Structure 1
Amino acid sequence: MSNVLYLHGFLSSPQSVKAKSTVQWFAEHHPDVVVHTPALSNYPSKVFGQLERYINSHPELLQDGLKVIGSSMGGYLATYLVERFGGKAVLINPAVKPYELLIDYLGEHVNPYTNEVFELVAEDMDVLKALDTEVLSTPDAYHVMLQTGDETLDYRQAQAKYKAGTLVIEQGGDHSFINYPNHLPAIASFLSVG
């Protein structure tokens, strides 16, 4: 039995298309793999503590090395976790400097999946920045999937940060990563599950 942690992005949820297709694909092709999809807090200042508590309450995630898939902000969180606990991560159009990106989004938001109203404040950016990992201790622990047409993030930031890892760069596409399910066999292979 293997365990995979899937981390959704900002303004997303376990009900996102990628999260659901990941769970469905593993259930169909590798039923011995448990995919964990926690609903992450909309507040960046709370999410890191939430993740640590989740991992502490699910020690099976660390049994044979942490295996995590992170999309967008989830990719930033996944990098933090791998640098902290070890393991491997697959990052999909990951946020590299979310504290720079989200500074333009301070104020009130509504999560479209949960309808939760929340407010981003400057302190959230400080928390995000404090947990940045500028130098990766094990660059080969990362398989990074980028599409150049990402309208939300500049893929070149991730290309530069993870250049010593495994990079898959597709021309075009968008922030959702078009045709993501086609990559799930390679994702499972990289994470050594199935």
Structure 2
Amino acid sequence: MPRAATYTGVMPAPPSHLLYLHGFRSSPQSMKAQVVGRWLAEHRPELQFWCPQLPPSPAEAIALALQGVADWPKARMAIIGSSLGGFYASVLAERLGCPAVLLNPAVNPARDLAKHIGEQSTWQTPEQRFYFRAEFIPELEAMKPVSLTRPERYAAVIAKGDEVLDWQEMSARHTGASTLLLEGSDHALSEFAGPLAFVLDFLGLSDAPAARPMPSATIRR
């Protein structure tokens, strides 16, 4: 499919299809995925929303996402990704030419996840176990985009209070993207109402755009 050559930083029309990618040790039951899904069901029921359970293998996760969106209109789709899902979202956006919103996105997951090799459980259902294997690290290294070819196609929500990832590294990686920089918050973006307004505004889905920065936040466009 051709790349969306006229994309200028906000979608020319709201997406008809939206992919949500959860983070490491997370699931479709994550708070942010559920909030987005409920908002769409209430306000944009015509939009096709998909939040798959991603396999532990990064290569398999990307393959699953690509298979699932193979028939989607690339000019009318968008991606939201959180943490490791934010890294995956940038990988897919570079391949598909669609816009993406990244929530506290992982920048160098091959480095950061090397210390998490072994048996893991999901945050939402601790009894659900999986094994993160050493061979997954080279998969992450192989897929990392050298750079964001069109940063205006991206929006990023970055919390200075992120206790897992370095906010300065996230910010530097996404220079040129529309960015909501939160002075506090946390990795999970526990107070998600404000960031959600920014996300919906960027995607052209909200009837009430977030035109002004939230308290303790800066919007960089």
**TM-score of the pair, normalised by structure 2:** 0.81
Does residue 66 of the first structure (1) align with residue 77 of the second (2)? Answer: yes
Partner of 2:103: 92
Q: Which amino acid aligns with 2:151?
A: P
Q: Which amino acid aligns with 1:77?
A: Y
Does residue 44 of the first structure (1) align with residue 58 of the second (2)? Answer: yes
Partner of 2:151: 139
The 1:7–1:140 alpha-carbon spacing in structure 2 relative to 1, beyond 3 Å, is same
Any gaps of 5 or more consecutive residues in structure 1?
none
Output the CA distance in 2 between the equivalents of 1:187 and 1:92: 9
Percent identical among aligned pairs is: 34
Output the CA distance in 1 between the equivalents of 2:143 and 2:68: 18
Instruction: Tell whether the 8 Å contact from 1:90 to 1:144 is kept in structure 2 after alignment.
Output: yes
Instruction: Tell whether the 8 Å contact from 2:180 to 2:198 is kept in structure 1 after alignment.
Output: no
The Cα shift of 1:63 comes to 4.3
Output the CA distance in 2 between the equivalents of 1:99 and 1:189: 32
Name the structure where helix makes up a greater proportion of residues: 1
Partner of 1:24: 38
Partner of 1:157: 169
| CA distances 1:66-85 after superposition (whole Å, capped 9, x unpaired) | 30110001100000010000
The Cα shift of 1:54 comes to 1.4
Output the CA distance in 2 between the equivalents of 1:51 and 1:20: 19
Instruction: Tell whether the 8 Å contact from 1:72 to 1:95 is kept in structure 2 after alignment.
Output: yes
Partner of 2:193: 181
The 1:97–1:72 alpha-carbon spacing in structure 2 relative to 1, beyond 3 Å, is same
Output the CA distance in 1 between the equivalents of 2:152 and 2:54: 26
Any gaps of 5 or more consecutive residues in structure 2?
1-14, 207-221
Output the CA distance in 2 between the equivalents of 1:144 and 1:162: 7
Instruction: Tell whether the 8 Å contact from 1:5 to 1:67 is kept in structure 2 after alignment.
Output: yes
The Cα shift of 1:31 comes to 2.4
Output the CA distance in 2 between the equivalents of 1:186 and 1:119: 35
The Cα shift of 1:20 comes to 0.4
Does residue 116 of the first structure (1) align with residue 124 of the second (2)? Answer: no
Instruction: Tell whether the 8 Å contact from 1:152 to 1:175 is kept in structure 2 after alignment.
Output: yes
Q: Which amino acid aligns with 1:14?
A: P
The Cα shift of 1:86 comes to 0.6
Give the CA RMSD over aligned residues.
Answer: 1.7
Output the CA distance in 2 between the equivalents of 1:132 and 1:162: 14
SS in 1 for 2:106: coil
Output the CA distance in 2 between the equivalents of 1:178 and 1:108: 26
Q: Which amino acid aligns with 2:94?
A: E
Q: Which amino acid aligns with 1:183?
A: P
Partner of 2:29: 15
The Cα shift of 1:94 comes to 0.4
Instruction: Tell whether the 8 Å contact from 1:76 to 1:95 is kept in structure 2 after alignment.
Output: yes
SS in 2 for 1:122: coil
Number of residue pairs matched by the alignment: 191
Output the CA distance in 1 between the equivalents of 2:198 and 2:33: 16
Partner of 1:4: 18
Does residue 190 of the first structure (1) align with residue 202 of the second (2)? Answer: yes
Partner of 2:4: none
